[in-house]
Structure 1
Amino acid sequence: MQAETMWRTSTGEGVTVAVLDTGVREVPELAGRLLPGKDFTDGTKGKHDEAGTTAAAVIAGTGRGAGGRESAYGLAPGAKILPLKVSDGSEVPDSLKRSVRIASSVAPAIRYAADSEAKVISISVGAGLGVDQLLSPAVTYALAKGKLVFAAVGDSEVANAAVKSPASVPGATGVAAVGKDLVALTSSAVGPQVMLSAPGEDVLGACAGTQGLCTSSGTAVATAVVAASAALVWAEHPDWTNYQVLRVLVNTVGGPKSGAVRNDYIGYGIVRPRIALKEPGDPGPADVYPLPDLAETPGAPPGGGADGGADSATPVASVGGDGPGTAFLVSLGVCATGLVCLAVAVPLLVADRRRTGLSRP
């Protein structure tokens, strides 16, 4: 139960995560965790309304279900959730219009989150090609306001599908999903914009359905895990900037087993929040964006950015010190007393000091 080990250090308390999804229902597992949200869909009903309930619960579920029964925890049960309802375009048949519809609701939602108390922005939905220009200014604005933006790279029945927007936008950290076999899901989008990855297969958590609990798969759930990981780290180091938190998450991943710094399937690797809390290493400069997808650092003082700190913007390849070298388990659930184990337990591969890890062939 590595999550319980992490919770001795941090539960994410004091950190708010903005969840941009198709709506969050006030289920028992999220009691006391939801802040007043906002609807950016103009009241439009889609086919997947309230799908954000699962993402929110994976982040901040309290482990208390209906009637006070034990249920699934989120990875950062002390965090707060700011639910921002956006469109997934399911109500629009035309693909281009669908993308514009998604971007038209996500862009103002990002800006709203940037102006709020939220430190982390978790975006579950994605649009097709051609709308990066609609979303890029909002992402840059959020970074300049000191926020972290994590976006699902998208899911598709077609193998090696392109990364969706806003995950494809520079400055948004694109998140892919890995399965129980510790390999990138074939449904997870592939491309140079993939930066991080996390568990995303059959994750058990609270949902908006009548059954109360459900299993969910895909990059939206994986993005929630990464957002929760950031909340844990930021709660432990409240004086760090968004760039320092992101740098530590990247520096402590389990990376591609090929030895490459990153690949297009899992990015720099799978997040390891326990290692990020235990052995964060040097968080680096506070004002330099740590990834190479931006030419300039939003919000940096004059002289900062890629031109002023190119070396610092390059992700570190390993973590110093002695740490585990075999297996790592993040558990997002608890066992109901005398009954059934409602565990969201997904094994994560631990990289050795040469950043060995996993990738899809």
Structure 2
Amino acid sequence: MTPRLSPRLPLLFFPLLALALLGADDAAAQGRRAHLSSDLASRVQAGSVEEECVILTGTSQQIDAAAGTHGLKVRKRLTGGAVVQVPAGGLGALAADDSIEAVSSNYAIRGEMGVTTVAIGADQVWEDGWIEGAVGVTGDGIGVAVIDTGVADVPELRSRIVVSVDFTAFSNRSGQKVGRSSGDCPGAAGVRGRAGDDHGHGTHVAGIIAAAGGSPSDGTRGVAPAAHIVSLKVLDAQGEGFAGDVIDAIDWAIANRDRYRIRVINLSLGGAVLQACAVDPLCHAVQRAYSAGLVVVASAGNWGKDASGNEVLGGVTVPGNSPFAITAGALNTKQTPQRSDDGVTTYSSRGPTAYEGLLKPDLVAPGNKILGLLAPGSTLAREHPELAIDTTEGK
């Protein structure tokens, strides 16, 4: 699965990024208050006195100083910041602190359902000679970090899930602790243990990427059937999570990229865009991954139409709005391998992105009525038992 960026995108990328950065500089010059995401700004304006769970941007020293000044509880250290709990009534004072760079809510993130191998030509590049002198490409030796609901140890992926880490705050899995857990400020746990997926979305995504038949008679194939999976769980049994956990998982993938041969990060999830990407901590994490040499693929989102069926523009979710991610929209292939009848699904998010106005998505791929792997006992398996039949028929 080797997506291609539009040849016109680089020409637009640099001036747009420069405008975004200039805008951030101008905002800083106009006032000494911390930058707030739009939802937090609304709460401050409304005089909210509730406790808040937020992400501060800054060095460890700046975080510690802010914690001491404002009575914050540091729940999770992040690269370039921290998830902190703000005491009741403390958000206004935190926002007015001129020593703090930016404050973002620890906003909600949700899974976004996805490719058929024939429709995108993946089956052609598996074979030697797909171009003159080239050997087949199956993903062998390539690690894909699936940051999602976890990945179940199903036969089609067995022995190729090389590590599983659970970053969700309410993890009930046993294993080696790699972080601290806190129920009052979500997004602070990390457990390295056995593979598992209590929702089903991550297993579906991992199957599209790297499924391989569990027996000689099983023809199940993902796009890169020889790739190995690094499962980083950030979403719960309802397919929901928090930005702080996704950031933590991305930075874990960066730190462990050589150990597990990670080349790609898959982010089939998204949240509401509450601020410019230039100041969003999740966008910062995507940029760090890009700078570390990783390919970051993110979904565009499922906000292409409103409840009345009307087309919506500007609905690309975060982190798909990042200029450092390859953002994928969804095609309806009409269940045929030829591309002449393909069309963008009505629900797939369209650009331009909010705030920066970037042209997104960068590409589209089949994403409608995709047969995939089912995690036994997961939310999807319980709520949609017909999926088990579809999965069996797809083998």
Identify which of 242, 256, 277 aligns with 1:102. Answer: 242
- The answer on whether the counterparts of 1:127 and 1:166 sit within 8 Å (CA) in structure 2 is yes
Partner residue in 2 for 1:129: 273
- The answer on whether the counterparts of 2:149 and 2:237 sit within 8 Å (CA) in structure 1 is no
Partner residue in 1 for 2:343: 183
After TM superposition, give the deviation of residue 60 of structure 1 in Å: 0.7
CA distance in 1, matches of 2:124, 2:149: 32
Give the TM-score of the pair, scaled to structure 2: 0.48
- The answer on whether the counterparts of 1:150 and 1:173 sit within 8 Å (CA) in structure 2 is yes
CA distance in 1, matches of 2:242, 2:344: 26
Residues 299-338 of structure 1: CA deviation (Å, up to 9, x unaligned): xxxxxxxxxxxxxxxxxxxxxxxxxxxxxxxxxxxxxxxx
Alignment pair present for 1:43 and 2:175: no
- The answer on whether the counterparts of 1:72 and 1:206 sit within 8 Å (CA) in structure 2 is no
For residues 141-220 of structure 1, the aligned pairs below 5 Å read: 141-156=288-303, 158=306, 159-160=311-312, 162-181=315-334, 182-191=342-351, 192-209=359-376, 213=388
- The answer on whether the counterparts of 1:88 and 1:126 sit within 8 Å (CA) in structure 2 is no
Alignment pair present for 1:23 and 2:150: yes
Partner residue in 2 for 1:85: 233
The CA RMSD over aligned residues, in Å, is 3.0
2:302 partner amino acid: D
Residues 76-134 of structure 1: CA deviation (Å, up to 9, x unaligned): 10100101111279587xxxxxxxx5211111111111222310001011011216412
Find the residue that maps to 1:113 and give its secondary structure. Answer: helix
2:249 partner amino acid: A
For residues 217-228 of structure 1, the aligned pairs below 5 Å read: none
Give the TM-score of the pair, scaled to structure 1: 0.52
1:112 partner amino acid: W
After TM superposition, give the deviation of residue 172 of structure 1 in Å: 1.4
Partner residue in 2 for 1:269: none
CA distance in 2, matches of 1:122, 1:214: 27
CA distance in 1, matches of 2:164, 2:204: 16
Find the residue that maps to 2:124 and give its secondary structure. Answer: helix
Partner residue in 1 for 2:13: none
- The answer on whether the counterparts of 1:206 and 1:214 sit within 8 Å (CA) in structure 2 is no
After TM superposition, give the deviation of residue 202 of structure 1 in Å: 0.9
- The answer on whether the counterparts of 1:88 and 1:125 sit within 8 Å (CA) in structure 2 is no
- The answer on whether the counterparts of 1:30 and 1:57 sit within 8 Å (CA) in structure 2 is yes
Residues 217-267 of structure 1: CA deviation (Å, up to 9, x unaligned): xxxxxxxxxxxxxxxxxxxxxxxxxxxxxxxxxxxxxxxxxxxxxxxxxxx
CA distance in 2, matches of 1:142, 1:134: 13
- The answer on whether the counterparts of 2:165 and 2:231 sit within 8 Å (CA) in structure 1 is yes
| Cα pair distance change 1:90/1:5, threshold 3 Å | closer
2:324 partner amino acid: G
- The answer on whether the counterparts of 1:56 and 1:81 sit within 8 Å (CA) in structure 2 is yes
| Cα pair distance change 1:4/1:42, threshold 3 Å | same
- The answer on whether the counterparts of 1:29 and 1:71 sit within 8 Å (CA) in structure 2 is no
Partner residue in 2 for 1:283: none
CA distance in 1, matches of 2:265, 2:331: 21
CA distance in 2, matches of 1:89, 1:341: 25
Unaligned runs of 5+ in 1: 93-100, 217-339, 344-361
1:179 partner amino acid: N
Unaligned runs of 5+ in 2: 1-117, 128-135, 173-185, 187-196, 335-341, 352-358
